Structure 1
Amino acid sequence: MPEGDTVWLAAKRMHTALAGATLRRGELRVPQLAAVDLAGATVREVVPRGKHMLTRFTDGRTLRTHYRMDGSWHIYRHGTRWRGGPAFAVRAVLATDEWECVGYRLHDVALVPTSEEDRLVGHLGPDVLGPDWDLDEALRRLRATPDEQIGVALLDQRNLAGIGNLYKVESLFLCGVHPWTRVADVADLAALVDRARTLMLVNRDRPEQSTTGDLRRGSDHWVAGRKGRPCRRCGTPILLGDQGPDLQERVTWWCPRCQAARSPIDPRARTGEPGRPPMLPTAT
């Protein structure tokens, strides 16, 4: 799933292409909005809100789109061939005389009065990359469920908006926190959240996402995508497990030595290896 920094960069590029311009073509290819024609509407701004993108028009309407697992926006010069996927995957087209913004496989497409945006995004916690970021409020929300697994809590957009699976596993590794640790048992929750935010700030202006400082493929992450490979710090093989409620599990990588559990963790922790008990080492 695209992370908040991916949506932030896409919104920045969409804003540059569309802000202040009048649409000569505005199609929403989803059943509930198929009859809507946005041609003639003038774009005021395009802004991110967590993993949601809000395109605001001067007539007081807002178009909300969400990437979920496979969505994306592509921007083309007018008249350029679209290369983002098959035509049947297009969910939205916002075109001016100069640019064509094409949304592929978008989800949660909605058009509402701008004054009613909270109906769509009001449940979200502080936006990690937003101008109104509030660390104290994010910590308050996280601590409201002290028994939740920290790896699950960081992905709950009601706590703080924007963090995805990549920044979850990478920040947990860098802070030496086991993914299944209870929120209440994280020694320095503020430092963990700040580390995740710092990683996202570093990456938000580029499509590449590196948490190691190295942009080369295979060298860009500490634990993500590295199951069975040696930890870059200690050499211990990286583990892979499923974490989260049933039907909402997310794959989770961690180093069993650098992130050794320092307190009791959920015994239901899964390592992704059927028939084998979870590997739950303790710190020495």
Structure 2
Amino acid sequence: MSRIVYVNGEYLPEEEAKISIFDRGFLMADAVYEVASVLDGKLLDYAGHEARLARSLGELEIPMPASPEEILEIHRQLVTRNGVEEGAVYMQVTRGAADRDFAWTADMTPSLVLFTQAKAIVASPMAQRGSKVISLDDLRWHRRDIKTTQLLYASMAKMQAKAAGADDAWLVEDGKITEGTSNNAWIVTKDGVLVTRQLSNDLLAGITRASLMRYAAEAQISVEERAFTVEEAKGAAEAFVTSASAFVMPVVEIDGVKLGAGSPGPVATRLREIYVEESRRTAI
């Protein structure tokens, strides 16, 4: 049975879903998106995703396509109609359709599209073995704080990583790691301090990142927000990434250099457990 998706006011079988070929999301990636994870049929960290959507739209001067209450209800309807117990809800908002032109007008009607993806997140095989990453130059535009659908370079970097026998790439600019292709990068120092890059236009303000920082503080684990180099990462006790679709994912190898024993370390493993426990407790 096909999924039920949402397109501009309608719940439809995915085969019947349509959007204009003149939609600027298709023509120019003039669109933003959010991904809310689902556990036990409930949404995780939803308030953070809702706030970041509003910020991204505001930065691009795209009007909200519906009220926050309506958008939450669409999420819940899709989870229920598709019977998703574990997975994600993807939401995309485009500026809308108009004849092709680089300039846009203020009276355009945004397009709103949502769909679900059922998949195992908690019992992830990669979380058990750990992820391998390579470092690549960060060649993206300089408004990475806006969660746009401009994901081509991230996709290219991911494919380069796979071609090199790795799982993902950490992107590097001016000698410092910005983030992963679809996640925030972290290291654990020999002293047990968590380090992740400070927020700016250079990286996305991860919702999972923010939640983990809060949980770490509650567990009295020190966190430093600062940039770090590839060499510092290779010499770290542990490393991991955070994202809505991966939670806390241990990184066990960087550019062929194993971290520790080359297997998920105790800090990343425990943080993943804490995140899952707290997310289940606070899901809506």
TM-score relative to the length of structure 2: 0.29
Higher helix share: 2
Bigger radius of gyration: 1
Higher strand share: 2
